[in-house]
Amino acid sequence: MNDKLPPTPAPAPQPRNPLHGLTLERILSELVAHFGWPGLGQRIPVRCFTHDPSIGSSLRFLRKTPWAREKVEGLYLFMLRERRRAGPR
């Protein structure tokens, strides 16, 4: 009996995916720095952003809730587009 599993192929490179290589913690931290907790809670009205928010509690919620994570990732992409449109400052 062979106990070795075949090697897992490396993930395909995603040069055009702006989320590739970013952790959820970094995405959330950048959103909080840009919008603040109140602004983030207005844009994505979930309790972890509006009532005693913290990075840790928000990460736990987002990792268990796919629809909320998709909203956070979408808002992050929107923020990146807006930054690009504004140009260098």
Sign of the torsion formed by the C-alpha atoms of 31, 36, 42 and 44: positive
* Encoded tokens for 74: 């979408």
Please give the model's pTM, rounded to 2 decimal places: 0.79
Residue 74: inside a domain, yes or no? yes
Domain that holds residue 54: 24-84
Residue 46, CA distances (Å) to 16, 49, 67, 70 in order: 30, 6, 11, 13
What is the overall mean pLDDT for the chain? 89
Is 14 a domain residue? no
11 inside domain: no
Mean pLDDT of 18-34: 92
Residue 29 located in a structural domain: yes
Report yes or no on 19 lying in a domain: no
- CATH code of the domain in which 60 resides: 1.10.720.30
For 31-68, what is each residue's pLDDT tens digit?
999 999 999 999 999 999 999 999 999 999 999 999 99
How many distinct structural domains can be found in the chain? Answer: 1
User: d(Cα 74, Cα 65) in Å, to the nearest integer?
Assistant: 14
Residue 65 lies in a domain: yes
